[in-house]
Structure 1
């Protein structure tokens, strides 16, 4: 049986899909912040250090499995043999991963992380669980039916939040997060079969079609994942689990407003670029538009977060985590621009240039490791600066590769979003002006030391956020009008707002 891809109106479907997954992503990040607010007050930095390694390992297993299933999104025609071959590859990879994890205990002890050996059994279970998801589920993404994807993300996130908070409140131990993560993976498997049922059969009949693309795709996915998590791994092994826990809290807040938000959007970008490539033969315009959309959302959120980092850390995690603010100061603005990599990855998968993407990621992984290790020799602050230098290197490589997928030069992806950067700069000046109205940093107590100061902190935090949002949106719309209302991020945002208003009017 051949499953033919649908051919809905691309622009409408992309807009609807982006809105659906972005809304799901925002809701998920709200739950993520809620989870962090509670667990940071109940667990120690060492607990968070252990949790960081566990989350990295569990996410790695899921990334590897997704890399295998991505062949189903790009494949022109899908048969039952393709579905069963990919399922078999997932199972074999899951078993191999579980065996590898089980044999890793001596390595953990060698790096001075013997506390992590207790995580081996749950990680082995997760390795198997992630391997038995329905391979029909990626076809929903392939056909741009993103509601089911959003449903999976929302359902699993709600379940994780409820379990993580409840168990942490009861146990006051990192095992609460471990158990919540294990149960969440089981829920994901059940969801995949409930919305995309299939009766899997073990076969490798179409292994050649899958290996040709999946081998390089898998390598690219693995190296990209290691790039994102190498600073955390290096800090834990060189500076200790407590510093790793502090870095985890700061970096968690950074990725909440960068990669965690673009994750759902990237799941729209890749299949939509693939759809455009199949139906229209070119995806350059979609690639450039996606760059403008991502930067328009991520850059102001990240810079704004850096402006209120101290406030954010105290309000969200508590005074004991204040050292994590420097992670946000350095990494948030850089990670915002670094999100250009998301579209570069998607375009590379569409064009089948995964080998080049793998080589690029390998170079970046080496640079990230070297710079973070070098920085870690100078303590926690040095490690953060080393990670920031690696992020700058990544931005340069992303701009080099973006030249091949767009129509402009080296700086085209940034210059195309000039209104975003100008509006963000205006927001920066406005928030700094509001801050100066409070007096010097010492006078107003940026690092509020007593609980009695918290109400005042919340007021100042709220004022800065509201001023930043108002100035950014207002400046963006003004520049857009002065530029002649070109088609771009602003027009898309207004289009989505108009559609939402019409739906609300009908509902009323």
Structure 2
């Protein structure tokens, strides 16, 4: 396949699913999942190495400054990738989008440097100001990379995107570990992430060629900004929700509990990204392809696609989060050590939280393709307000109550997402629920089966990694057996009634 090859849009005979070969969809999803797994492992390796090298105060400073930098990265990235992915004419704007991305990244870099000179020089030591100046070098490559990322997804080149990401993460890992070994301390972490961003851009250029920037006219700029403002506002709200838990727990319960909560969030987030990133990218491909085939009927192609895709996503998400709930104790012992035992219960609760809101992975691509992107902002705002409100209300009572509050917020978020997807995305959730019933049964049987056998490895005094291996093996066999049997006997997965 040539790098600039595009799938045909006029195919009338479906090949696999919505005109895309099944091997293309599954293969792309597997590649994205492998890339996310590799990224998680690489970032975990850097985290462990940094924890052994840096003082707690140094690591806290890195976390604080990087949070500010990530906030600016979220804004500088805009919605350029999503603008490309949402429709066919997105690629016609690539030169203009490249120019907008470069201007956005450069603007936030200058803003960061100005802040260093004015604000940093007055209130912070010189070396901390220079550290933040180094962070600002992230913004241009991060913004430009979104254009290449969106183009790769739009052309269904998920395998090449995954390879680029793995090479980039490997390069950043090597540089960060070398820098920590050489005594660069925090600077090693900053440069490692900068190298990852640069390699992502270079990989996109290698596959797609250089996209020569061209200044957009007013109509194009207005169209892009109108779309991007909703994406950015949603991500800002999500960003606030992601960091509010650790900040509030630390403020109300102390730094030790904040460390436990952040560790639990990080473990669950690793699994969530393995499920969520492939789901989000595949949803863009599938719903956009379905939108191109839409004949304008009430039961349109996007509705039919959702009736299949959401149950398949549930079939993947259910064993991941139920399995995490089952192995949490052994996983925490293996990864963090016995001193982090309180994290295990929080991991279990947060795994339930993620399962309650798995359907939210597809809301952004669905509403964007439907032309309802403006609905994302109020949806995300209501979810964030609920999540932060439950944290404020229950965190004073303890770490476990704080996590349970997030489950309540997740149940609300999941129900609200379903309502939005049915109302504005026009998904048939009655059909989705019917297609998902036996998947839930398979997950429940897996939970009961593994829980019933859990005492055997412990009574045999097996080490934690052996106990977890037994749990994973038994759980996988039970889940896949029940799921396959139910599918063969009932043929439950239907896109149409």
TM-score of the superposition, structure 2-length normalised?
Answer: 0.82
Alignment partner, residue 266 of structure 1: 280
Aligned residues: 470
CA distance in 1 between counterparts of 2:416 and 2:208 reads: 38
Distance 2:405 2:60 in 1: 19
CA contact (8 A) 1:313 1:321 kept: yes
2:20 corresponds to 1:11:
yes
Instruction: Name the SS for the 2:20 alignment partner.
Output: helix
Unaligned runs of 5+ in 2: 296-300
Task: Go from structure 1 to structure 2 and tell me whether the alpha carbon gap of 1:433 and 1:79 turns closer, same or farther (over 3 Å shift).
Answer: closer
Query: In structure 2, how many angstroms separate the alpha carbons of the residues matched to 1:284 and 1:3?
Result: 28
Determine the structure 2 residue equivalent to 1:255: 269
* Correspondence 1:121 to 2:123: no
**1:277 equivalent in alignment to 2:284:** no
* Contact 2:446 2:479 (C-alpha < 8 Å) held by counterparts: yes
Residues 465 and 134 from structure 1, CA distance in 2 versus in 1: closer, same or farther, beyond 3 angstroms? closer
1:140-159 correspondence runs (5 A): 140-159=152-171
C-alpha distance in 2 between matches for 1:330 and 1:44: 30
Report the counterpart of residue 298 of structure 2 in structure 1. Answer: none
The answer to whether 1:340 aligns with 2:359 is yes
The question of whether the paired residues in 2 share the 8 Å contact of 1:21 and 1:150 is answered with: yes
Tell me the TM-score normalised to structure 1 length.
0.80
Matched with 1:449 is none
Q: Does 1:25 align with 2:36?
A: yes
- In the alignment, structure 1 residue 313 sits paired with structure 2 residue 332: yes
Partner residue of 2:84 out of 49, 53, 72 = 72
Cα distance, 1:193–1:236 mapped onto 2, change above 3 Å: farther
1:153-177 per-position Cα deviation (integer Å, ceiling 9, x unaligned): 2112222333444444554955543
Moved more, 230-239 or 257-266: 230-239
Distance 1:348 1:248 in 2: 31
Q: Cα RMSD (Å) of the superposition?
A: 3.6
Mapped contact 2:74–2:236 kept (Cα < 8 A): yes
CA contact (8 A) 2:33 2:275 kept: yes
The correspondence for 1:290, drawn from 294, 309, 313, is: 309
Change (3 A) 1:348 1:154: same
What is the match of residue 97 of structure 2? 86
8 Å contact kept, 2:105–2:143: yes
Could you report, residue by residue, the CA deviation over 1:330-363 in whole angstroms, capped at 9, with x for unpaired residues?
1112212312111122101111211111111112
Structure-1 residue corresponding to 2:437: 418
The 3 A distance-change label for structure 1 pair 395 and 430 is: same
1:21, 1:264 within 8 Å by CA — same for their partners in 2? yes
| 1:464-479 paired onto structure 2 within 5 Å | 464-479=471-486
CA distance in 1, matches of 2:259, 2:224: 39
Distance change >3 Å, CA 312–CA 346, structure 1 → 2: same
Describe the shift of the 1:34–1:474 C-alpha distance in structure 2 as closer, same or farther (beyond 3 A): farther
Equivalences for 1:22-421 in 2 at 5 Å? 22-32=33-43, 34-35=45-46, 49-53=60-64, 56-64=67-75, 65=77, 67-78=79-90, 82-99=93-110, 101=112, 120-133=132-145, 135=147, 137-168=149-180, 171=183, 173-205=185-217, 206-236=220-250, 238-239=252-253, 242-281=256-295, 282-404=301-423, 405=425, 407-409=427-429, 413-421=432-440
- Contact 2:450/2:471 (8 A) holds in 1: yes
The worse-fitting range, judged by mean Cα deviation, of 23-32 and 344-353 is 23-32
Alignment partners' CA distance in 1, 2:114 and 2:382 = 28
